[in-house]
Every structure is written in structure tokens, then in C-alpha cells.
Amino acid sequence: MRYDAAPLQGITNYVYRGVHRRLFGGADRYFTPFYSPTKEHLFTPREYRELCPEHNEGVPVVPQILVRNPADFLWAARALRELGYAEINLNLGCPAGTVTAKGKGSGFLAHPQELDAFFDTVYAAMPDLNLSVKTRLGLHQEEEFPTLLEIYNRYPITELIIHPRLQQDFYKGTVRLEAFAQALKGCRMPVCYNGDLVTVDDCDAFCEKFPQIQALMIGRGLIADPALMRKLRGGKGATVEELRTLTQTLYATYCRDFDSRGNAAQRMKETWFYLIHLFENGEQYAKKMRRCASPPEYERLEAEIYRDLTLRSEACGPF
């Protein structure tokens, strides 16, 4: 079984990927949060910092692109290849209104003909493209998927990562496993499943139900329990020392990269939003963390969490 780390904008950046791999053995592949190329065909310094080889050394990284325009995609795919990336991923899942309004992410699923033309253009220009696609089932109805799959099946997409929700579901409610089972029957390419896997038991139960699936992608569950993949491979759970090293390394590096303790503390709150679920009685600290407004307050709260709370054996979802 392969275990991949899902992209989470604002959380699974290069700092997180590097320290996670070093401390917890890591994922088989880490997908970057989406990178959205613009018409200028340039990396901004912030984008380059995220994708440059120096910051991703020794980490199996798959850069993800969020795009609608084939010319912008091709520029980015070539630029990423020059940076040394063998595989890239296309985001057809992002449900955010600001993204879908531009017909990107899951918004692209509303335009099947254009999507077909997009693949036609990019594979004609780069026949040896190693491209995986991360998709939802559709925007408003599960019945949209067969049309989309017919398109995906027409191209040499190396893997289809399916998050079985609709755009309108955002991340709410339960995943649509029956629709996923239906979808799976028609897929000609290898499929990776993504969605709502939080514990070892969740993964075991999923694999029992879908023994043909060879790859799982885990997002929020891995932030909540950074040792989840190690445990799935038979290893031990996270220790307080490991978690302290993780959060303190992240915070110190964010302070340096953002040149602002305030921004660094805000960013840390996003990781803690999930990580607090690994602590017994973490709920009241989750509330305090959401409210905390200054770096000293953040630093004090983090110290209190490690001092006062014990670890659960599994993270407690849903989030």
C-alpha cells in the first residue's frame, strides 16, 4: 500500500514536509499545496521558495498546479520539470468560491468540453507528461462523474486521485462511498482514494471494503496525527517530544521566513486546529487557540498544551 500526504494550503508547505519526513518517516509522496501559474510565466519569490530543489531535498514531492489555461499549464509543467520534478498533479477538486468562479479547481468540472480540449492540448505538446489528477465527483450531482471519467479515460493520466465529494459539499458531511464504488468500476487508470481517513482503523476498514485500491492519500488525519503513516506501517505512535520538535521547528522557521512572529503564530494555529485532536481533553485548548491573538499568547498556550495534556492513541475526528 502507498500512503500519500494530501496538499493542504497553508499547512503542508516545504517546512512541514521536510520536518515531517525527518521525524516521522514520512509519506511515500507529498503533494504541494496548489501552485497557480499566472500569465507572466514567472515564479514569485514565495512560489520559488516553496518549490525550489534546495527546500525539498530528499523529500518525494509532487507539485500541484491549479490552472485552466493550457498555455499556463504547459509553462508551469516545463518549469517544474526543469526544477527536477518527474510528476505533476492537476487540481480539479478545490471547492473554494474564489477558485471555482474562475473555472479552476472543481470549477473546471463544469466545463467538460473545455477540460477535454485542455488535456488534448497539453498531451499533444508534452506526450511524455507524467500527470496525476485530483478530482471530485462533480459540482452538484454524482451523475456528473461518468462524463468526466469518459474524458479522463481518454488520456494517459498516470493516476486519478478521487475525493468522493461534490464541490457543493465542500468538506462537510460524509464521503460518498457508494458513488466512489461506482466510479471505481469505470476507471482505466490506477486510483488513489482520498477522504476522511483519520485513524489506523479507518484505513483498515477502507482497505477491507476496497481491496483493489493500492494508494491512500491522507490530509487532515495526518496533520492531526503526524505518526499515522508510521503506525500504518507497523511503527509507534507520536511522542510528545516529537510533536514538540515538529511545532517548534515549524514556528521558528515561519518566524524566519515571514519575518513576523504574528504571521508565524497565525500560521501555527492552522496546524493546531487539527493537531489538538491528538490530545485528551484538547477541546478547551482548541477554543483558546482559535482566540489567541498574539505571539506571546500563542507561545504560552503551546507550552501549556504540552505541559497539561496527555496524548490519545488515535486522533479524534471528525474535524
Ligand X SMILES: Cc1cc2nc3c(=O)[nH]c(=O)nc-3n(C[C@H](O)[C@H](O)[C@H](O)COP(=O)(O)O)c2cc1C
Q: How far is CA 51 from CA 22, 46, 80, in A?
A: 18, 9, 8
State the Cα–Cα distance between residues 15 and 67, nearest whole angstrom.
Answer: 24
Type of residue found at 31: F
Residues 221-260 that bind ligand X (CB under 6 A): 221
Give the count of beta carbons closer than 10 Å to the beta carbon of residue 215: 18
271 near ligand X, judged by CB under 6 A: no
The residue within the footprint of ligand X, chosen from 155, 171, 210, 258 (CB under 6 A), is 171
- Which distant-in-sequence residues (6+ apart) come within 8 Å of 193 by Cβ? 161, 162, 164, 180, 206, 210, 213, 215, 216, 217
Minimum gap (Å) between residue 307 Cβ and ligand X: 28
8 near ligand X, judged by CB under 6 A: yes
Minimum gap (Å) between residue 42 Cβ and ligand X: 20
- DSSP character at residue 138: B
Minimum gap (Å) between residue 238 Cβ and ligand X: 17
Residues 84-103 that bind ligand X (CB under 6 A): 91, 93-94
Q: Which is nearer to ligand X, 233 or 300 (CB)?
A: 233
Minimum gap (Å) between residue 37 Cβ and ligand X: 14
Q: Which is nearer to ligand X, 20 or 220 (CB)?
A: 220
The residue within the footprint of ligand X, chosen from 26, 70, 219, 295 (CB under 6 A), is 219
Q: Which is nearer to ligand X, 221 or 295 (CB)?
A: 221
- C-alpha cell at position 309: 495534556
Q: Of the ranges 43-51, 192-200, 232-240, 245-253, which one interacts with ligand X (CB under 6 A)? A: 192-200
State the Cα–Cα distance between residues 278 and 29, nearest whole angstrom.
Answer: 23
Residues 24-43 as x/- pattern, contact with ligand X by CB under 6 A: ---------xx---------
- DSSP H helices, the chain, are 14-24, 45-51, 70-82, 97-100, 112-125, 145-153, 177-186, 200-209, 220-224, 228-232, 240-258, 261-275, 283-291, 295-308
Q: Of the ranges 53-61, 139-147, 190-198, 284-292, which one interacts with ligand X (CB under 6 A)? A: 190-198
- C-alpha cell at position 61: 514531492
C-beta nearest to ligand X: residue:
219
**Burial class for 242, CB neighbours closer than 10 Å (0-12, 13-18, 19+):** middle
Residues 103-142 as x/- pattern, contact with ligand X by CB under 6 A: -------------------------------x--------
Give the count of beta carbons closer than 10 Å to the beta carbon of residue 203: 21
Nearest in space to 181 (alpha carbons), one of 231, 123, 232, 142: 142
275 near ligand X, judged by CB under 6 A: no
195 near ligand X, judged by CB under 6 A: yes
Which sign does the torsion angle of CA 26, 28, 34, 37 carry? positive
197 near ligand X, judged by CB under 6 A: yes
DSSP for 150-162, written as a single string = HHHHTTT-SEEEE
The residue within the footprint of ligand X, chosen from 196, 225, 302, 314 (CB under 6 A), is 196
The residue within the footprint of ligand X, chosen from 20, 29, 220, 231 (CB under 6 A), is 220
Site residues, ligand X (CB under 6 A): 6-10, 33-34, 64, 91, 93-94, 134, 163, 171, 194-197, 218-221
